Amino acid sequence: MNLILLGPPGAGKGTQAKLIEDSRKIVQLSTGDMLRAAVAAGSDIGQKAKAVMERGELVSDGIVIDIISERIDEPDSQAGFILDGFPRTVAQAEALDTLLAEKGKVLDAVIEMRADDDKLVERITGRFTCGNCGEGYHDVYKRPAREGICDKCGATEFKRRADDNAETVRSRLEAYHAQTKPLITYYGDRGKLSSVDGLASIDDVEKQIEEVLNGIGSNE
Ligand code: ADP
Ligand code: ADP
Ligand code: ZN
């Protein structure tokens, strides 16, 4: 099963992608995570992407298309994947159609996670992750069960993203509205789009997505 999670920053794509990974045994492919790893490694791509990401703008289509194309070829992507944060422009969506056709793969569904901007600022500014395993948390909505200790791996170091500040969030939301939102029509026109209410609780969103996924294949 090959899926896209589409939605603004903070909508809950990463949170739900991790839950789908566990339930469906398919892999999360997050271009944001890949770019942050490139920045941390100081690679050529990382050096090009760093300042752009800090401004909350989009990295060039060519860079992310190359990254995702290579990643889809890896052995762990063959059972299926969840694209999280890609595509983000119509050019990326078109390139994805081409490369999936070349690789003989199909896109099963695009799930749009709807959420309004006010709530997203709160979601993003409260976000933190485990410094060891990457598990996602939130100051209000998802605190570790034991204060300061990761539920998943027991680590005690947490981190916050450099671009998760109120000012950069505004640029990222602008980029979403101007460049990514047209993909809702793009996939709607192709009969691929389902929408869920991203403002519901994490458990409830998971259930809504489960319903969409259970419907896949039933009309094939
Ligand atoms: P995205 O990958 O779309 O940017 P995340 O999955 O990282 O979003 O979620 C952003 C923040 O909001 C995280 O801190 C996460 O724990 C929290 N979060 C995710 N989904 C929900 C939800 N349905 N309700 C409340 N908080 C949520
Ligand atoms: P979020 O879902 O919270 O917006 P991501 O981790 O998906 O965050 O992305 C962080 C940043 O990485 C984006 O603001 C952008 O600069 C860059 N980025 C990630 N994916 C893409 C993409 N597909 N195209 C262009 N830039 C991207
Ligand atoms: Zn952890």
Residue nearest to atom 2 of ligand 2 (CA): 9
Residue 25: closest CA among 213, 218, 219, 202: 213
3-state secondary structure 125-136: HCEEEECCCCCE
Which tens digits make up the pLDDT trace of 39-93?
999 999 999 999 999 999 999 999 999 999 999 999 999 999 999 999 999 999 9
Q: Is the CB of 9 under 6 A from ligand 2?
A: yes
Q: How many Å lie between the centroid of ligand 1 and the Cα of residue 220?
A: 32
Which tens digits make up the pLDDT trace of 105-133?
999 999 999 999 999 999 999 999 999 99
Q: Alpha helices, DSSP H only, in the chain?
A: 13-24, 31-41, 44-55, 61-72, 90-103, 117-125, 166-175, 182-189, 202-215
Q: How many Å lie between the centroid of ligand 3 and the Cα of residue 97?
A: 35
0.75 exceeded by the pTM?
yes
Q: How many Å lie between the centroid of ligand 2 and the Cα of residue 32?
A: 5
User: Does position 219 have pLDDT exceeding 60, yes or no?
Assistant: no
Indicate the length of the chain as a whole number.
220
- The span from the CA of 162 to the CA of 185, in Å, is 31
Question: According to the model, what pLDDT value does residue 216 have?
Answer: 87
**Nearest ligand for residue 153 CA:** 3
